Structures are given as C-alpha cells and as structure tokens.
C-alpha cells in the first residue's frame, strides 16, 4: 500500500539548494550551455542529412552521438532550470522515471557507440583501402542498432528494479536529476541485489567497449608511427583526435565519479560531474568535431550559401 502511495507522489530534487548563492549563476550558465548544446547537436544532425559529402559511416555515427547528447540534455536540464528558477524543487513520479530511464539507456548506448566509432577510426587508419568495403551501410546500421538496443534493454531491466526499492516515505533526492545512485541512496532496504546486477551489466556495457576503444587506438598508434611522411601522420592524427578527446571527456568523468566513496563531499562532487557530462560535454562535442573538420565546415558554408570549396578550387 505504501509503495502505491509512493508511485503516485512527487520527489524533491534538492540539487544545489544547499548553495543558494549559486542558484541564479547556475540558472543562466546552464541556460546558455543548454541552448548551445541544442543548436550545436541539431546542426550536426541537419548538416549530415542534407549534405551528400557527409553521407559516410563516420558522420552516421556522429549523428547518433549528437542525438544521444540531445536526449541527455533534454531529459534533465529543463527540469533543473525550472527548479533553479522557482522555490519548488519537485518532480513528478513519472518525470523521475523518465529521467532515470533516459540516463540509464543513453549512458549505455553512448559507451557502446564510442567503441563503434573507435572501430570505425581503426578501419579508416589501419585498413584505408578496404574502408568502404568493411564499413558498408548494413554493418553501420547493425552496429548502431546494437548500441541502441543494448542501452535500452539495460534501462528496461534496471529502471523498474531501482524504482521498486522501498523508500519508507523518503522523497528527498540529493541531486538535480533522478539518477540511479541517488535513488538507491534514499532506499530503506538492502540494495545489494540491484547494485550487484548493475555492476555485472557494467562489464559488457562499460568495460568491454572501453577495452575495444583502447585496443583500437593501440593499433592506430602503431600504424601512425609506421607512417613515414609528416603529412600522413598529421592526417591520421586529425582523423582520430576529435574522437579521442570525446572519449577522454566521457570516460574520465564517469570513472572518476563512480569510483568516489559515498560520503557527502563526493555527493556534491557527483552533482557537478553529472552536470559536466550531461550538459558541458554535449555542448563541447559539436565544437570538438567541427573546429578542425573541413567537411563539416564546408557543409555549413554550403547551407549558408557560401560554398568555400569552389572559391578554394578557383584560388588553386
């Protein structure tokens, strides 16, 4: 009976309420970052769809990453902005379930997708002559579908288990988002079964993809070192550098956050780290991939009616 009452009630997201001076600063800062994240990732998806030069495996996977970043930010930041602006810090039970489902699924999908992108870069650098033969459209669709289905399946399994934990009337979540560790923390029963299952599922969803990324870049580094020309090395490095930066930002944040002990200090750190990887990283990703990418910049100028490739050709 108590569980039914819980499932129909609201939760209180404490967020950064213990630091009221930060409230308005965080509100306007997050609003700016959220706007940039939406515009940047939407632009990547739009350009990849309308420009034939971007109809390649690399940009297909980049579109998927941008879509994930949009899901990350849109599932948490609007609610956070509402809570920062007004005195009410509540979120409905359904809203909390949606946030939990989104975070679990998108996090799992991104881990696997980043490993797929690392494999794509491995083929591009180590087997360039066979790239289009290996990375054919059917394989790209299967790899992307595998990432999405695995992440969603993980969330379908873990979300109900997490929300079914008895909370004994505890509705105050010490976070700005309904994330699994924060919800587990307010449970009044043993959580070893849920935490044990989460750890077990982290092996294929987090550890295996990370291993694939490290092995892929091990082969890439070995291949680049064998390239004789400086121009060839620079081209290979430019091909992979953007993805390496994104992987480093994502995994370093996740690993640091989940290896911290569960004390109050680490909980506060966890809020800022969660904010980093659900807002700052999605904002930076489009810039990381476009600043040194001539194809994306060329597509952008073409959409704006200024095709620089033509002027460059005339200049030469």
pLDDT band at 300 (very low <50, low <70, confident <90, very high): confident
* b/e sequence 288-300, b meaning 16+ C-beta within 10 Å: bbbeebebbebbb
Q: What percent of the chain has pLDDT over 90?
A: 40
Q: Please tell me the class of the 11-303 domain.
A: mainly alpha
pTM for this entry: 0.87
Domain residue ranges in the chain: 11-303
Rg from Cα positions in the chain: 22
pLDDT at 262 > cutoff 50: no
pLDDT at 202 > cutoff 80: yes
The predicted structure's pLDDT at residue 4: 42
Mean per-residue pLDDT, 220-243: 80
Mean per-residue pLDDT, 182-187: 89
Residues forming a β-bridge with 173: 13
Higher pLDDT, 255 or 307: 255
Mean per-residue pLDDT, 60-85: 91
Mean per-residue pLDDT, 262-278: 69
> DSSP assignment of the chain, as one string?
-HHHHHHTSEEEE-TTTT-GGGHHHHHHHHHHHHHHHHHHHHHHHHHHHH-GGG-SHHHHHHHHHHHHHHHHHHHHHHHHHHHHHSS--EEEHHHHHHHHHHHHHHHHHHHHHHHHHHHHHHHHHH-GGGHHHHS-HHHHHHHHHHHHHHHHHHHHHHHHHHHTS--TT--EESSSS--HHHHHHT-SS--HHHHHHHHHHHIIIIIHHHHHHHHHHHHHHHHHHH--SHHHHHHHHHHHHHHHHHHHHHHHHHHHHHTS-SSHHHHHHHHHHHHIIIIIHHHHHHHHHHHT-HHHHHHHHHHTT--HHHHHHHH-
């Amino acid at each position: 009976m108590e569980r039914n009452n819980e499932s129909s009630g609201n939760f209180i997201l404490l967020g950064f309420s213990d630091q009221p001076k930060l409230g308005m600063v965080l509100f306007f800062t997050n609003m700016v970052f959220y706007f940039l994240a939406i515009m940047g990732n939407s632009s990547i998806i739009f350009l990849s769809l309308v420009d034939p030069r971007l109809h390649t495996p690399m940009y297909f996977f980049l579109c998927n990453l941008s879509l994930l970043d949009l899901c990350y930010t849109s599932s948490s930041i609007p609610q956070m902005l509402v809570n920062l602006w007004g005195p009410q810090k509540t979120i409905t039970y359904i809203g909390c379930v949606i946030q939990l489902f989104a975070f679990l699924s998108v996090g799992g999908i991104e881990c696997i997708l980043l490993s797929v992108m690392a494999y794509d870069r491995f083929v591009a650098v180590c087997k360039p002559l066979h790239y289009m033969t290996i990375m054919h459209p059917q394989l790209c669709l299967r790899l992307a579908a595998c990432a999405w289905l695995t992440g969603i399946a993980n969330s379908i399994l873990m979300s109900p288990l997490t929300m079914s934990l008895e909370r004994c009337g505890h509705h105050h979540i010490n976070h700005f988002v309904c994330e699994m560790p924060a919800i587990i923390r307010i449970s009044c029963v043993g959580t070893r079964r849920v935490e044990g299952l989460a750890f077990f599922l982290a092996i294929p969803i987090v550890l295996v993809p990370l291993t694939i990324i490290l092995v892929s870049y091990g082969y890439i580094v070995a291949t680049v070192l064998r390239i004789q020309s400086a121009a060839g090395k620079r081209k290979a490095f430019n091909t992979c550098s953007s993805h390496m930066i994104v992987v480093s930002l994502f995994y370093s944040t996740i690993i640091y956050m989940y290896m911290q002990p569960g004390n109050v200090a680490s909980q506060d750190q966890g809020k800022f780290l969660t904010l980093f990887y659900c807002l700052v990283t999605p904002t930076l990703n489009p810039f990381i991939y476009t600043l040194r990418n001539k194809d994306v910049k060329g597509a952008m100028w073409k959409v704006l009616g200024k095709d620089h490739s033509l002027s460059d050709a005339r200049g030469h």
